[in-house]
A and B are shown apart, each in its own frame.
Chain A
Amino acid sequence: MSWLLGILALAVLALVAGLILGFAAIRFRVESDPIVEQIDNLLPQTQCGQCGYPGCRPYAEAIANGDEINKCPPGGQATIDKLADLLGREAKPLDAAHGEEDVKKVAVIREDECIGCTKCIQACPVDAILGAARQMHTVIADECTGCDLCVEPCPVDCIDMVAVAVKPERWKWNLDQIPIQDITASSEHSNSEDKQVQTQ
């Protein structure tokens, strides 16, 4: 009889443990980020469409469905590496067919040439251009993602893409990039040289 008791005890234990696990699986369920969200979070959100999709989210969806991860020039190699890490795929070099990695830029409208056609406003994916029909337009530089999409529709070519200047508070401590100056020499000749600079 003892073997029956053993089986019974084990069966009861298994049942109880199963119930607890089943309850825990429902009660403490962790809602994980859908993969598209996670991919979208890694993309730079320039919404430039260089990947061939109309925005970052559609590209994220395409990647989730198996598209290549190396079609995002604004994100560059860093984004490709992160995506490869996330998806367990091999990191590839950036696909040159979609563009090359570039410094960060913002659009600047040459305001006196703007004719107020609103074409760039319609093209801007993040509503970063301000203006109205037959009124001058201007770019809100802080909101501009540098996607280039406003340049092409402009009928008078008055939009320039300008590299963002690094500010001291966002400088990355690249001491080796500071041009070396012999300040001894400059202090000896300072009066002549600096005055030249000043008058310029």
Chain B
Amino acid sequence: MIEITATSPLHHFPGGIHPPEQKALANQTPIQRLPLAPMLYIPLRQHSGPAGELCVQVGDHVLKGQALTQPGVDNGLPVHASTSGTIVAIQDHPLNHPSGFSGPTAYLQPDGAEQWIERQPIDDLSRLSHREILMHLQLMGIAGLGGAGFPTARKVAGAQGIDLLIINGVECEPYIVADDRLMREHAAEIVRGSQLLQTITAAKQVVIAVEDNKPEAIAAFETVLAADANVTNTMILRVVPTRYPSGGEKQLIQVLTGLQVPADQLPADIGILVQNVGTAFAVARAIDHGEPLIERVVTITGQALSKPGTAWIPLGTPIDHILSVSGFQPANKQRVIIGGPMMGYTIASLQVPVIKTTNCILAPSAKELAPPEHEMACIRCGACEQVCPASLLPQQLQWLAKAKDYDGLKQHHLADCIECGACAYVCPSEIPLVQYYRQAKAEIREQLIEQQKSEIARQRFEARQARLEREKEERLEKHRKAAEARKAAQAARADSGEEDPVKAALARVKAKKAAQQAAEPASESTDAPADDKKAQVAAAVARAKARKAEREAALAQADDQQKADDDKKAQVAAAVARAKARKAERDAAAQQEKQEDGESS
């Protein structure tokens, strides 16, 4: 059982750095509302996990807050129209992603009316089942607003009955002040969202954590917590010392509780859930007001801007619109970074939109954030190891990554790297260490996916082989059974003295031949008695043959099944002979009659 009081000691995570904060650039002014962009580009996937299924068409008029995608078979997170307007296209558009790839995006042309869809707030959480509440959060498109944008409903679903809910207001990365401004201006709603999350997860305790470089935010929370009668003693505020990256999920847990999240496990496995203050705010809006996640606070900062600050940006607003209304004065080879200077990425096109995870747009001048210099050789100074918050060996990882020794990287726990960039920040050789780790991680992930795919292919191949084999055997079995049935039927006929239709037909053919042969000489010669005699002899021979064959057949029948074929032949022969004999007799008789007729006439 984890218990934190207002006075319980704080702990340290290993390493960490103190980069220049640069927060004063943007946190002096209230959160603004910028003029609406002429076109919003709303990517269908703005978070980690699968995208939802499209549920609007080109030409549809949509209202503010209307869902553009629905969870669908993959249970993806929906995205919503950030304002009312018309869907003019659904096509590939540059994504807000370090790769610079394009992806499916809905082009929303605002009509300026800001007409809301009918919102459905939840008045009383206790009336809904746990499942229904999570479904509501899912349908409202709530994703974690602090980091990678993991769907909140899924994160919460995996953390039931936890000991500790941490509301993360640390915001440790330089330049970024979106959470800082949100806490100053909307502390009450963040507290409300925290209470809702506490109710949903049945967490025993809630700790709101804020770094000590945000005194205004701390004061705002203290006022709200003191004034709010609903706040019980299970919710406290803790101020943590400023050190990058104390806002990392695992680092914050370690600072507050002294516990480390084990490798390959989630905080929920040790009874802790961490949610960003922005997420808590979004949860409060979604439940109390029925508002989906369609806008977020974005830090707009950097010395290339004459009007830095923070703003409520409707999701899908293109970056160049935001920059142009913020006094963007691009220098030569100007970089625009999404996120902060430590973990952010440079974008390749200014047309990329703001998405759920965009907390900062940084347009630095060349002086304040020098572009990366040429990488030099590692001098093995060990500074990176001193600052790694995950107690890894960055230098060793770098060698292994360069050598593409993926097993070695796994042994050195590359997966525990949070890509905070502290090692690269202190590296005197300016080695882009995190870049190496990201490539190696991507390669390891790719290998894992390929391995899983090949495993599936193997299973499918083997299943197919087994099926073909089974079908072949079934076919053979069917043939064998049919043959047996035929044999049994023949045997039954032979026993009862009945004639096999095939044999009968054969016999008829033979008999016809015999008759023709017999008839020819009869019609030619008038030597009837001789003919008659011949026919009689033939009949007698045939009878004898038939008897013999029958005897043989009887013998063969007594034999075992191996001689079944002989048996069959013998039967056929016997039957043929019988038929011949009968026919010959009949023919002979007919001939005699004819002759007698001829003689009498």
Contact = CB atoms under 8 A, between A and B. Distances in A.
Interface of A: 40, 43-47, 55-57, 125-128, 143, 145, 166-175, 178-179, 181-184, 186-188, 190, 194
Given A125-B461, A168-B101, A170-B449, A190 B439 contact: no
B457 A183 contact: no
A194 B38 CA distance: 13
Nearest to B48: A169
Interface size class of B (residues with CB under 8 A): 35 or more
Contacts, number: 103
A183 B334 contact: yes
Contact of B461 (A56, A167, A172): A56
B333 A182 contact: yes
B5 interface: no
Contacts of B335: 183
B151 to A, nearest CB: 14
Interface of B: 48, 95, 97-101, 103, 320, 323-324, 328, 330-336, 347-351, 435, 438-439, 442-443, 445-446, 449-450, 453-458, 460-465
Given A45-B455, A171-B99, A178 B464 contact: no
A80 to B, nearest CB: 15
Contact of B457 (A46, A167, A194): A46
B332 A184 contact: yes
B446 A143 contact: no
The 7 closest A-B pairs by CB, nearest first: A45-B454, A45-B457, A184-B330, A126-B460, A172-B442, A171-B99, A184-B334
Contacts of B103: 168
Given A172-B443, A184-B333, A186-B349, A125 B464 contact: yes
A170 B446 contact: yes
B460 A143 contact: yes
B348 A175 contact: no
A47 B461 contact: yes
Contacts of A194: 351
Contacts of B331: 184
Given A56-B461, A178-B348, A168 B334 contact: no
Contact of A127 (B97, B332, B464): B464
A122 to B, nearest CB: 10
Contacts of B100: 178-179
Given A47-B457, A126-B457, A183-B349, A172 B333 contact: no
B256 to A, nearest CB: 31
Nearest to B437: A173
Nearest to A127: B464
B379 to A, nearest CB: 24
B348 A183 contact: yes
B99 A168 contact: yes
Contact of B439 (A173, A178, A186, A188): A173
Given A45-B457, A187-B328, A173 B438 contact: yes
A55 B464 CA distance: 12
